[in-house]
Amino acid sequence: MKSRLLILDTETGGLDPTQHALLSLAAVDSTDGEAFTALIRPSPEWICDPQALAKNGLTLDFLEKNGRPEREVLQDFALWIGERRWHIIAGCNVAFDLLFLTAAFHRQGLAWTSRKNIDLQAAAWLAHETGAIELPLGKDDQPRLSLDHIAATLGFSRSGKTHNALEDALLTMACLHRLIAPTPQ
């Protein structure tokens, strides 16, 4: 890979960045494999939907004990990415992660500028459409584009049933590498 990618993933308390909490943030530098990961202690004003917590395996008690304040995490993340000369943000459904990250930086009054981005789902869909890979189809006869389906198609799997931001960022990076430089068959 010529461009340095910053592979990003978040775990959240729901689907709406204006109402739901940002719970976990992870990023991996595609060049050197260095990672940033942090759990966030949600403020009471942000919603943590029980279904979202079940999906990511986090609990409010765990986050209260092990998480840090959102502002502190975002400041550390900004310092971490400021030390890197990265070009492009990548992720699986990266627009979702960027919406939450942008909303969190905004509510904390911190500067954040998003960069160009690459979405694994779009890359996998294109690879499927061109016949490079064969994704499983859903009931609507469209390719299934979850990270789990893309990873399984490319020969990877998650270590457990719940989502973990760092594991998902690493899995996304592996999938992108496989799509860009497929192994000979």
State pTM to two decimals.
0.90
Q: At what angle do helices 165-180 and 120-129 cross, to 10 degrees?
A: 30
Which is nearest to 158 in space by CA: 166, 150, 148? 148
Question: In 83-164, which residue ranges form alpha helices assigned H by DSSP?
Answer: 94-107, 120-129, 147-153
Spatial neighbors of 152 by CB under 8 A, at least 6 apart, are: none
Q: Which pLDDT value is given to residue 181?
A: 73
Check the CA dihedral 119-122-127-133 and report its sign: positive
Q: Which domains can be identified in the chain, with CATH numbers?
A: 5-180 (3.30.420.10)
Each residue's pLDDT tens digit, 56-71: 899 999 999 999 999 9
Say how far apart CA 48 and CA 59 lie, in whole Å. Answer: 9
pLDDT < 50 stretches in the chain: 1
Token pair in block for residue 110: 């911190």
